[in-house]
């Protein structure tokens, strides 16, 4: 049997316990299901003794900021007010490990730490939606995106919360196959596993909707007309603005066109119905505004990289 892959989690004070659990538990369950020690893990912090997460729980550490082994994989995991806890000692440790070739990623708000260390210039990066505005002001050279995770860059990032589980399941699937990753998701009762291209739609919508009443109204209209989509011109008229103004709102707050956002709402509903119901593909297509099954399949494949039939396992 080959040596287990070892993950090291650098827990920054006030870290997210949800993201932490979603990072570690898939590894534990992988060992349990496979009946092999595929993975091992350890926790480190600046003081080497403990770290306190945002809900007040205390986690004991295995080590401090000592040099890692050559085959370790490091993830920085943080949470609220992360910028208060980025110390010179943490930055020096990360820079030293980068020089030594250690793969380094970030979970939840951990991207702030990597950006502060100078690792993320021009790197596509996932970060929890709540931090986007502050992050873009501090680090405009980072290619921030709204995906739940980014796994195809030198520095892997996940946006936090359950997106961390999505990333870990992705890494497990890459290393040990789809069947094991699916079995782990089943053990977690996690039926809506997302791929890297999925976006943080609901949270972004809630946040920006509160900021702009007309945008909130436009989004609500789209949500209420998934089965029978309405045109941007109708939406703009009902909201009381021009089509051009509507496009500017979506571009400013959501970085996409109204049509793209609308289509992503429809695709999100289609994927949920495929994964969570026994409806036929034809009926799902109709409920998402597609009168042609072939058109629905083409759009779905272009969006998710797989067909509705393949994803539904029908």
Per the structure, how many domains does the chain have?
2
What is the Cα–Cα distance from 246 to 241, expressed in whole angstroms?
A: 7
Whether 260 is covered by a domain: the verdict is: yes
- What is the predicted pLDDT for the residue at 190? 84
Phi/psi for 149 (5° steps) reads -155, 160
Hey, what long-range contacts does 177-180 have (CB within 8 A, 24 or more apart)? 180/30, 180/33, 180/34
Q: What is the pLDDT of residues 210-245, one digit of tens each?
A: 568 889 899 989 989 999 999 999 999 999 999 999
The answer as to whether 143 is a domain residue is yes
The answer to whether residue 195 is domain-embedded is no
Same domain? For 178 and 261 the reply is: no
> Do 151 and 213 sit in the same domain of this protein?
no
Q: Which residues of 200-238 are buried (b: 16+ CB within 10 A; e: fewer)?
A: bbeebbeebbeeeebbbbbbeebeebbeebeebeebbee
Are 177 and 221 in a shared domain? no
Q: Are residues 34 and 68 in the same domain?
A: yes
The answer as to whether 194 is a domain residue is no
Domain that holds residue 301: 201-312
Instruction: Count Cα atoms within 13 angstroms, Cβ side, for 132.
Output: 20
Exposed/middle/buried for 91, CB within 10 Å: 0-12, 13-18, 19+? middle
Is the same domain home to 260 and 182? no
In a domain, 193, yes or no: no
User: Is 22 in the same domain as 80?
Assistant: yes
For the chain, residues with pLDDT lower than 70 are 1, 133, 197, 199, 201-211, 276-277, 313-314
What pLDDT was estimated at residue 211? 63
Query: 196 in a domain, yes or no?
Result: no
Q: Looking at residue 308, what is its pLDDT?
A: 87
* 65: CATH: 3.40.50.880
Q: Of 38, 31, 40, 26, give the one whose Cα is nearest residue 68.
A: 40
Instruction: Please tell me the predicted confidence (pLDDT) of residue 164.
Output: 96
Same domain, 175 and 104: yes
CATH number at residue 274: 1.10.10.60
Q: Which of these three, 164, 187, 210, is where a domain ends?
A: 187
Q: Could you tell me if residue 266 is inside a domain?
A: yes
- Confidence (pTM): 0.67
Q: Do 253 and 140 belong together in one domain? A: no
| Residues 263 and 159 occupy one common structural domain | no
Q: What is the pLDDT of residue 160?
A: 86
Residue 34 and residue 133 in one domain = yes
Are 183 and 205 members of one domain?
Answer: no
Tokens of residue 189, six digits = 């009762």
The three-state secondary structure class of 151 is coil
């Amino acid at each position: 049997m080959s040596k287990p892959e070892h993950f090291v989690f650098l827990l920054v004070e006030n870290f997210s316990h949800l993201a932490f659990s979603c990072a570690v538990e898939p590894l534990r369950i992988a060992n349990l299901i496979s009946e092999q020690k595929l993975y091992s893990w350890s926790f480190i912090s600046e003081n080497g003794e403990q770290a306190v997460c945002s809900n007040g729980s205390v986690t004991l550490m295995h080590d401090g900021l000592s040099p890692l082994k050559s085959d370790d994989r490091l993830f920085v995991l943080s949470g609220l007010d992360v910028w208060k806890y980025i110390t010179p000692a943490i930055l020096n440790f990360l820079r030293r490990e980068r020089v030594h070739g250690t793969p380094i990623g970030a979970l939840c708000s951990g991207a702030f730490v990597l950006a502060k260390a100078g690792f993320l210039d021009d790197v596509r990066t996932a970060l929890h939606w709540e931090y986007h505005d502050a992050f873009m002001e501090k680090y405009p050279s980072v290619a921030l995106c709204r995906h739940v995770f980014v796994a195809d860059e030198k520095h892997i990032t996940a946006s936090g919360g359950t997106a961390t589980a999505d990333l870990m399941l992705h890494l497990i699937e890459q290393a040990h196959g789809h069947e094991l990753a699916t079995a782990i998701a089943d053990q977690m009762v996690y039926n809506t596993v997302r791929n890297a291209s999925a976006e943080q739609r609901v949270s972004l919508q809630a946040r920006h909707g509160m900021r702009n009443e007309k945008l909130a109204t436009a989004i609500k209209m789209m949500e209420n007309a998934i089965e029978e989509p309405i045109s941007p011109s109708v939406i703009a008229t009902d909201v009381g603005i021009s089509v051009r103004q509507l496009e500017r709102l979506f571009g400013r707050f959501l970085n996409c066109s109204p049509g793209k956002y609308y289509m992503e709402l429809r695709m999100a509903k289609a994927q949920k119905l495929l994964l969570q119901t026994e409806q036929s593909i034809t009926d799902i297509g109709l409920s998402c505004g597609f009168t042609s099954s072939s058109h629905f399949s083409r759009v779905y494949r272009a969006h998710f990289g797989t067909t509705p039939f393949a994803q539904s396992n029908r």
